[in-house]
Amino acid sequence: MNDRIGVRIINFFLRAIIRFLCKVDGDFNQVPQTGPFILAVNHINFMDAPLIASHLNNHPLTVLAKEETWDNPIIGAFFSAWGAIPIKRGEVDREAFSGAVTALNEGKILAVAPEGTRSGSGLLRKGYPGIVIIAYKANVPIYPIAIYGSEDFWFKLRHLRKTHIHFSMGEPFYIKNETDATSRVGRQETVDEIMRQIAKLLPTDYHGYYSGEISKEPKHLVFGLRKQPQV
């Protein structure tokens, strides 16, 4: 079977299951069908990747996923089918970053969760700057994506109720080509600005680590789709 056809079949069944168990609110057609660009997504639980992958079925999508994902052969098989790139958490994984840049250079869409781990509650956690390195090297736009509601999935399932999941996408932006955006401090400032763009798409109760900060003006981001000149 053609790999692409296999992925489409997997996504069809996942989407059907998700729609049976959940009410999904949001326009996935907002997401452009061709890359290269990065989707910066908040990370609540195990449903995030299947939700995005299955609802962006015709898109050339790949994701960064913790390498422990492949410890479970069934889940690992799904992520392999999606062309996921394994990444070692808690360190600078240059091989994963290189693979991500290569995927973007091939015109793919890369989904990245800057928080690096599940929040469980839906409240935003502190972002980590790997996404900054990738976006800066690949010189591609970032679209902020917010998902909420899925934190109640198991509770709703136990009570035989559908989970109401909300999906929204914000304005695209580039990381400015400036020296301090590549420094350690600059990278953290930049990922915090990216996380605040995600926070703007969420109800106030979900802002978590970034509560009270979304009004800050970004200094490392430039909005729009005009490609930044390489330095």
Mean pLDDT of 203-218: 95
Mean pLDDT taken over the chain: 91
Residue 11 lies in a domain: yes
Residue 228 lies in a domain: no
Would you say residue 148 has pLDDT above 90? yes
Mean pLDDT of 218-226: 88
Within a 10 A sphere around the Cβ of 127, how many other Cβ atoms?
A: 26
Give the pLDDT of residue 215: 93
pLDDT in tens, 87-114: 987 777 789 999 999 999 999 999 999 9
pLDDT in tens, 10-52: 899 999 999 999 999 999 999 999 999 999 999 999 999 999 9
Residue 205 lies in a domain: yes
Give the pLDDT of residue 2: 47
Q: Which CATH number goes with the domain that contains 187?
A: 3.40.1130.10
Give the pLDDT of residue 184: 86
Would you say residue 115 has pLDDT above 50? yes
Would you say residue 1 has pLDDT above 50? no
Would you say residue 161 has pLDDT above 60? yes
Which tokens is 181 given? Answer: 């955006």
pLDDT-derived band at 179 (thresholds 50, 70, 90) equals low
Give the pLDDT of residue 151: 96
Would you say residue 77 has pLDDT above 90? no
Round to whole Å and give the CA distance between 9 and 130: 32
Round to whole Å and give the CA distance between 85 and 104: 12
Give the pLDDT of residue 196: 98
pLDDT-derived band at 188 (thresholds 50, 70, 90) equals very high
114: nearest Cα among 135, 95, 94: 135
Residue 27 lies in a domain: yes
Would you say residue 74 has pLDDT above 80? yes
Residue 231 lies in a domain: no
Give the pLDDT of residue 150: 96
Residue 229 lies in a domain: no
Would you say residue 227 has pLDDT above 80? no
Residue 17 lies in a domain: yes
Domain of residue 193 covers 3-223
Mean pLDDT of 133-143: 94
Residue 79 lies in a domain: yes
Domain count, the chain: 1
Give the pLDDT of residue 230: 58
Task: Provide the whole-model pTM.
Answer: 0.91
